Chains A and B, each alone.
Chain A
């Protein structure tokens, strides 16, 4: 049976605040994020479970998930 369709997560990255520490990339439980040069980027949006750990652990107020 197919799983009910989930609403995809909105991941908002403020690239002017991101310093590229990669804490969000390393601690993401489902590998949604990846580094794109010196800033973070979304590589696999479907895998996002909206746990918001990246948002909680971002030291630079640069990422929000909802």
Chain B
């Protein structure tokens, strides 16, 4: 859309069209779905990182979140359910100069692709993994996922979910990821900065993003709108790691931490592989 700016000094609107495939819009996500907000934060982070469109390879599995690569004008791969990490590992090893970004949902990364996810973290291969966590399998009709809170209603847990939840960030940290962070679609400017740090990190970086599924999770759990979900889970359900020490314990209890939770340096897989090749050639 043509936009004429009258005042040049004022903050110009961000031109998302440069990174999108505009003919693919409007996207398939439901009204109020947080995935669009996360996609915009991701695009702004990529713009700030200075990477060109050809330097990025975006890989996804199956699910609502995994439709993201269809709308962006990078090198994109839409692969098998939960197997995006295996594809991404192959892409990175074949072309280490590419910045590989994996887009995954909570079901895709933590249930079906759980095994691939932990071993990608263990190898510390240089890629950025974004896990869109909306507490439910949205695309297939609202089945409960590993992040569905206990007691919550899903189409496969009509009387309440009894299973304890997976903490994506703890799992990634324990599995060996060298950068672990959490963001929300409500705090979209913080999320942009967090994703930028994740992209700049050398090694496996995992960002769990809490967003909302008003169509299935909201409707089944008597949350009337996307706004209500954003206020309950994202604004009031998370607390920034920078503020957590200053707040009284009752304001922190039961809330998820938001921000960069873990960052260490460890040898990266592709570099180690290159060293091995050089050593073998030298013998």
Question: Which residues of A in the span 1-50 have a Cβ within 8 Å of any Cβ on B?
Answer: 7, 10, 12, 14, 16-17, 19-23, 26-27, 50
Answer yes or no: B230 CB below 8 A from chain A CBs.
yes
Q: Is the CB of B13 within 8 A of A60?
A: no
Name the contact of B40 in the complex, choosing from A16, A19, A27, A56 (C-beta under 8 A): A56
In the complex, the chain B residue whose C-beta lies closest to that of A8 is B6
CB distance from A2 to the nearest CB of B (A): 21
Out of B11, B189, B225, B230, name the residue touching A66 (CB < 8 Å).
Answer: B11
- Asked if B29 lies at the interface with its beta carbon under 8 angstroms from chain A, I say yes
How long is the Cα–Cα vector from A58 to B40 in the complex, in angstroms?
A: 9
Q: Is B273 among interface residues, defined by CB-CB distance under 8 A?
A: no
Stretch at the interface among B31-39, B74-82, B124-132: B31-39
Interface residues on A, range: 20 to 34
Query: Does B10 contact A23, Cβ atoms closer than 8 Å?
Result: no
Given A7-B7, A16-B26, A26-B225, the answer on whether A60 and B36 have CB atoms closer than 8 Å is: yes
Contacting B27 at CB < 8 Å: which of A12, A22, A55, A60? A60
Contact of A58 among B12, B36, B214 (CB under 8 A): B36
List the interface of chain B (C-beta within 8 A of A): 1, 3, 5-7, 10-14, 16, 20, 25-27, 29-37, 40, 185-186, 188-189, 214, 225-227, 230
Interface pairs A-B: 10 shortest CB-CB: A59-B36, A21-B32, A19-B31, A26-B227, A21-B31, A64-B13, A66-B13, A59-B37, A56-B188, A17-B26
